[in-house]
């Protein structure tokens, strides 16, 4: 059995010794089963039809024979994600142990599936759920699917940076007291920008009122492997967490974990997952989860120490350029900005007279550098397990050049304020209502039947069931003009928005 990493190196949160199934974190059951499958030279008269790549030579040439050879279907040797009893179960148990969870589910339909399973497993039609308005579109979509009623908590706003923050504990408390029947509280841990709420306090508060805590940790995988980063959801006592292993943990795109605490029913969550998740789970994705979990369990502490060092270095270098502001823990305020994920290289650009989107576009078009996203005043570069100093030098140097060549007077850039939503209908009833599509400019006063968002970050500017105001329209038009990639609407050009008919 091969094993990488220094043996005996303890991960930060978890004991590496033996899982409840007696396996150590140096094992990778799904990966090992695939290796065995290959060595057995099984003759495939099942799906997939490419039959170990032979039926699609171009694709095999492109992705590699080894890759196609393990793009296989569930079978006895390889277990079945819909009903795991052997190697997938073992791999899930190892993942649970590595993340300090009672159970971990392998997710192959993206973190979207994990977020939706979290929400669908705790609320039923008509029940209330408390969530910050700056949730990802997947949460809003879950509300459309299940018919739950959102109770939005306005996130705090950093006025200077123009970014939404976390939820204040007292605002969550007010929402809980006003909606004592709500079933759960959703928390971003962290937000896209790396901002964390006081998750432990919110969790204790919610639990005192009998509510579950669901953490969207799409951007927080690395929290589980460092004591220098904000608290992870499982460590804070949250009940469920959706963790994008692929975002910062090194697994393949679309692969994720759903983590469950000790009070959750594994069987119930599995049922919910099986409502929408594929019955042909990709072994490429699952083996990538298995191997990345092993890598992080064995080497995560060292890896993320280096990631933190790199991001800190990048921040210092960017701040030395002048004009840009790469912010960090100094923005924390003990409440709505309780903690900061320092692996996020979030940079405020307004002082060089460019929006974050403009810098994002220049980096890509002029310098061949792809960053995660730009909004009206900020951009975000993600630093993760795969980064090296030399690429960071390129980013910093390109930013230096962008400042030299393109900076202008910041006058005239829109000061973005958080837009307080007016919820008139549940997302589900608005989404399924009779609707008409209207040009954006004519939508003021109407109720949206669909979301409009910049992507990334994919946080709806307006969500189904919300009243469209002039302020929202101005914002959408401004963001479009500044080059934000807009999405969410039936109209692919995003010139029109579907609104509820007659209201």
Partner 1 sequence: MELWFTEEHTENVRFSIKVEKTLHTEQSEFQRIDVFESKEFGRCLTLDGLMMVTEKDEFIYHDMIVHVPMASNPGIQKVLVIGAGDGGAIRELTRYEGIAHIDLVEIDERVVAVSREFLPGLASKFDDPRVSMHFEDGLRFIRTCENEYDLIIVDSTDPFGPGEGLFTKEFYGNCYKALRENGILVNQHESPYYENDAKAMTRAHSRIAPFFPVCRVYQAHIPTYPSGHWLFGFASKGIDPIRDLDADAWNRLGLKTRYYNTDLHAGSFMLPNYVLELLEP
Under the criterion CB under 8 A, does residue 56 sit at the interface with partner 1?
no
Overall size of the chain counted in residues? 503
Under the criterion CB under 8 A, does residue 420 sit at the interface with partner 1?
no
| CB contact set of 368 (below 8 Å; sequence gap of 6+) | none
* Two structure tokens written together for 404: 């030299």
Minimal distance, residue 326 CB to partner 1, in Å: 15
Cα–Cα dist 176/174, whole Å: 5
* Two structure tokens written together for 284: 């490429």
Under the criterion CB under 8 A, does residue 367 sit at the interface with partner 1?
yes
Q: Which is nearer to partner 1, 73 or 400 (CB)?
A: 400
With contacts defined by CB under 8 A, how many residues of the chain interact with partner 1?
A: 17
Choice from 22, 49, 267, 368 touching partner 1 (CB under 8 A): 368
Minimal distance, residue 383 CB to partner 1, in Å: 17
Q: Please state the separation of Cα 488 from the chain's center in Å.
A: 17
Under the criterion CB under 8 A, does residue 61 sit at the interface with partner 1?
no
With beta carbons less than 8 A apart as the criterion, state whether 426 and 479 touch.
Answer: no
Would you tell me how many other CB atoms lie within 10 Å of the CB of residue 308?
18
Minimal distance, residue 377 CB to partner 1, in Å: 23
By CB atoms closer than 10 A (0-12, 13-18, 19+), residue 41 is: exposed
Under the criterion CB under 8 A, does residue 26 sit at the interface with partner 1?
no
Minimal distance, residue 3 CB to partner 1, in Å: 22
Q: Which is nearer to partner 1, 393 or 490 (CB)?
A: 393
Under the criterion CB under 8 A, does residue 252 sit at the interface with partner 1?
no
Under the criterion CB under 8 A, does residue 37 sit at the interface with partner 1?
no
| 81, β-bridge pairs | none
Minimal distance, residue 17 CB to partner 1, in Å: 33
Minimal distance, residue 161 CB to partner 1, in Å: 25
Would you call the peptide bond into 456 cis, given omega within 30 degrees of 0 as the criterion? yes
Cα–Cα dist 392/194, whole Å: 19
Minimal distance, residue 401 CB to partner 1, in Å: 4
Q: Which is nearer to partner 1, 366 or 415 (CB)?
A: 366
Minimal distance, residue 392 CB to partner 1, in Å: 9
By CB atoms closer than 10 A (0-12, 13-18, 19+), residue 344 is: buried
Kind plus residue range of the DSSP H or E element containing 390: helix 389-406
Identify the DSSP state of 77: G
Q: Which is nearer to partner 1, 235 or 398 (CB)?
A: 398
Q: Which is nearer to partner 1, 54 or 404 (CB)?
A: 404
Q: Which is nearer to partner 1, 209 or 394 (CB)?
A: 394
CA distances, 478 to each of 416, 451, 456, 487 (Å): 10, 17, 16, 14
Q: Which is nearer to partner 1, 9 or 320 (CB)?
A: 320
Q: Which is nearer to partner 1, 330 or 365 (CB)?
A: 365
Kind plus residue range of the DSSP H or E element containing 157: strand 157-158
Would you tell me how many other CB atoms lie within 10 Å of the CB of residue 437?
15
Minimal distance, residue 306 CB to partner 1, in Å: 13
Cα–Cα dist 375/157, whole Å: 15
Q: Which is nearer to partner 1, 9 or 404 (CB)?
A: 404
Minimal distance, residue 325 CB to partner 1, in Å: 18
Three-state DSSP class for 162?
coil
Site string for partner 1, 116-145 (x = CB under 8 A): ------------------------------
Phi/psi for 244 (5° steps) reads -80, 85
Q: Which is nearer to partner 1, 202 or 396 (CB)?
A: 396
| 438, β-bridge pairs | 497
Minimal distance, residue 323 CB to partner 1, in Å: 13
Minimal distance, residue 49 CB to partner 1, in Å: 32
Under the criterion CB under 8 A, does residue 364 sit at the interface with partner 1?
no
Under the criterion CB under 8 A, does residue 454 sit at the interface with partner 1?
no
Under the criterion CB under 8 A, does residue 228 sit at the interface with partner 1?
no
* Two structure tokens written together for 368: 């061949």
Choice from 61, 366, 415, 442 touching partner 1 (CB under 8 A): 366
Under the criterion CB under 8 A, does residue 302 sit at the interface with partner 1?
no
- Binders of partner 1 in range 317-356 (CB under 8 A): 317, 320-321
Cα–Cα dist 446/439, whole Å: 12
Q: Which is nearer to partner 1, 28 or 399 (CB)?
A: 399
Task: Name the one residue in this structure whose structure tokens are 């569930």.
Answer: 74
Under the criterion CB under 8 A, does residue 316 sit at the interface with partner 1?
no
Three-state DSSP class for 9?
coil
Three-state DSSP class for 174?
helix
| CB contact set of 157 (below 8 Å; sequence gap of 6+) | 163, 164, 165, 336, 417, 418
- Binders of partner 1 in range 378-407 (CB under 8 A): 389-390, 393-394, 396-398, 400-401, 404-405
Q: Which is nearer to partner 1, 10 or 393 (CB)?
A: 393
Minimal distance, residue 388 CB to partner 1, in Å: 10
Helix 87-98, helix 29-40: angle, nearest 10 = 150
CA distances, 197 to each of 156, 169, 174, 231 (Å): 10, 8, 16, 10
Q: Which is nearer to partner 1, 306 or 401 (CB)?
A: 401
Q: Which residues bind partner 1 (CB under 8 A)?
A: 317, 320-321, 366-368, 389-390, 393-394, 396-398, 400-401, 404-405
């Amino acid at each position: 059995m091969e094993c990488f990493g220094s043996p005996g190196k303890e991960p930060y949160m978890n004991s590496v010794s033996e899982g409840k199934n007696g396996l150590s974190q140096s094992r990778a059951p799904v990966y090992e089963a695939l290796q065995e499958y290959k060595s057995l030279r099984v003759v495939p008269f099942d799906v997939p039809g490419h039959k170990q790549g032979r039926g699609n030579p171009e694709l095999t040439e492109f992705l590699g024979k080894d890759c196609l050879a393990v793009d296989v279907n569930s079978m006895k040797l390889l277990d079945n994600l819909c009903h795991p009893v052997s190697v997938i179960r073992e791999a899930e148990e190892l993942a649970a142990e590595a993340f300090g969870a009672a159970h971990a589910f392998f997710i192959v339909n993206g973190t979207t599936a994990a977020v939706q399973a979290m929400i669908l497993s705790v609320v039923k039609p008509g029940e209330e759920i408390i969530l910050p308005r700056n949730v990802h579109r997947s949460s809003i979509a879950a509300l459309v699917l299940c018919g739950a009623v959102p109770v939005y908590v306005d996130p705090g706003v950093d006025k200077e940076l123009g970014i939404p923050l976390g939820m204040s504990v007292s605002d969550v408390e007010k929402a809980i007291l006003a909606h004592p029947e709500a079933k759960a509280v959703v928390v971003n841990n962290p937000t896209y920008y790396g901002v964390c709420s006081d998750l432990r306090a919110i969790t204790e508060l919610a639990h005192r009122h009998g509510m579950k805590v669901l953490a969207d940790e799409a951007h927080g995988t690395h929290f589980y492997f460092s004591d220098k980063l904000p608290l992870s959801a499982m460590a804070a006592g949250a009940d469920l967490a959706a963790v994008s292993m692929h975002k910062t943990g090194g697994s393949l795109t679309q692969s994720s974990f759903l983590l469950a605490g000790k009070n959750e029913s594994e069987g119930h969550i599995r049922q919910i997952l099986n409502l929408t998740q594929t019955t042909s789970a990709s072994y490429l994705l699952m083996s990538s989860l298995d191997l990345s979990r092993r890598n992080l369990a064995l080497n995560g502490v060292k890896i993320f120490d280096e990631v933190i060092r790199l991001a800190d270095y990048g921040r210092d270098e960017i701040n030395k350029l002048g004009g840009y502001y790469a912010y960090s823990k100094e923005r924390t305020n003990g409440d709505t900005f309780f903690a900061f994920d320092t692996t996020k290289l979030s940079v405020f650009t307004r002082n060089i007279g460019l929006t974050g989107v403009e810098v994002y576009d220049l980096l890509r078009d002029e310098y061949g550098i792809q960053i995660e996203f730009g909004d009206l005043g900020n951009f975000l570069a993600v630093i993760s397990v795969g980064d090296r100093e030399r690429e960071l030098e390129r980013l910093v140097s390109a930013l230096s050049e962008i400042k030299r060549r393109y900076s202008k007077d910041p006058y005239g850039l829109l000061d973005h304020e958080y837009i307080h939503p007016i919820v008139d209908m549940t997302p589900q009833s608005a989404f399924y209502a009779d609707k008409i599509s209207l040009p954006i400019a004519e939508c003021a006063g109407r109720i949206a039947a669909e979301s409009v968002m910049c992507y990334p970050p994919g946080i709806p500017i307006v969500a189904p069931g919300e009243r469209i105001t002039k302020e929202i329209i101005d914002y959408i038009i401004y963001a479009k003009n500044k080059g934000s990639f807009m999405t969410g609407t039936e109209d692919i050009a995003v010139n029109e928005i579907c609104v509820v008919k007659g209201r």
